[in-house]
Structure 1
Amino acid sequence: MYQFRVIMLGDSTVGKSSLLRCYTEGVFLDAVNQTVGVDFYVQFVELEPRLRVKLQFWDTAGQERFRSVTRSYYRNSAGGMLLFDLTNRASFESVRQWHREVTDTVQPFSIIFLLVGHKSDLAGQRRVGRKEAEKLAASLGIQYIETSAKDASNVVQAFQMLTVAIYQALLTGRLAPTEAWAGVKRTASLGPQHPALV
């Protein structure tokens, strides 16, 4: 069994906590309190027969005043979910800054990102087009998906995409577990080893 640590990134109110609650608990809370510092969530997934992954999520506060706290969590993350609000242009324009801040902090380690346009249910209030978001994702060398915690659209798919991308990065050697880095852990006692990774 593997443990992947994933950090949720993006401006305040883009819906990081709502997306996580929808995925891990199957609930949508219209009024979620703003995250203070970092919250933790866990979800187990089976990528393929006999290959289980424990996903450990760090839900970070988007406000600037918590940035020094959340920055310390970047280095030990294997994945990063970069969220913006499809109805909030400024949150989209912040994506590059979030991406740069994390990549600058985690060097020489790698982190696998997924760009997520959230609140796709609010189509009438949309301020960012799909093609524009796809272009940004391509320029960062990452995948893009649109989600909604309110109607659960693409929520499971988004986390599956990121989990698979992390696993593929392990297989190709782009991510390499070390004693000094806790982004990926192998816990042989919790399940059979995957033959491709022994």
Structure 2
Amino acid sequence: MRLRNKPWAEDFIKTHSTIALPDPESYKGNWKSVFNNDNPLHIEVGTGKGQFITGMAMANPHINYIGIELYGSVLVSAIENVLEAGTPANLKLLNVDGSKLKEFFEKGDVDRVYLNFSDPWPKTRHAKRRLTHANFLRLYEDVLVDQGEIHFKTDNRGLFEFSLVSMSQYGMMLKDVSLDLHAEMPEDNIMTEYEEKFSAKGQPIYRLEAQYKAK
């Protein structure tokens, strides 16, 4: 994906520090203080322009959400989405690298991880960069509650097949595996920007839920 440079993005993000939290490492192990409740915490790694995470927050006020996005030029669109939605109190954003989750979350801080339309990194030599590679599965397990879940959506069949194998070999339990999510659209499905784009072209959307086994 080619990113459009937005030199004003950093200042825009700083201006909206109640949405895109600065110094997220200071909340490690204490995210409940950010939301002032004991509700479950779901995070999206690679939140993009924020349509999915904002929609989820609006639809589920009893759950706390954090959208994680590395690129500031993309995060500004997510902030704008949050503002347009009325700044729901159960949603925050982080402008950080999703591969460094353990700097911001302790074991048990997170109840669910969402991975939506991640970069497929199609070349074999780049397999370790895929967000469903075993190295990342281990990372998510280190911040999730016991038997926590990953919910994954993609339009890329190769990445989906890789993910099925990777998660199975890791010992995760797969459920609700769909090779064409929109054939029988679940009522509670919140679409991402990419999902809308690809499904409009008739491309199937692949989805699965994966749960870690009890330790």
Q: Which has the higher contact order (CA 8 A, sep 6+)?
A: 1
TM class by shorter-chain length?
Answer: 0.3 to 0.5
